[in-house]
Amino acid sequence: MAGRGDKWSREETFAVLFLYLALPSKMVDDKSEDVQALAKAIGRTPGVVA
């Protein structure tokens, strides 16, 4: 699990970029189920992913 200040891996960066490109902009927030699921999968908080 990533801690505060840990650098993002290439895979984490691509996963978040893909999410941004796949979702309409109004759905990219920390309350979105997709954002929460990805955040949990990569060990980051939803707020950081969004």
Write out the two tokens for 37. Answer: 């699921």
Quote the pTM value. 0.82
pLDDT of residue 28: 86
pLDDT at residue 9 tops 90: yes
How far, in Å, CA of 2 to CA of 15, rounded?
15
Angle at 18 between CA 6 and CA 41, to 5 degrees: 50
**Contact status, residue 37 vs residue 47, Cβ threshold 8 Å:** no
pLDDT 10s digits, 10-38:
999 999 999 999 988 888 899 999 999 99
Tokens read off for 50: 């969004």
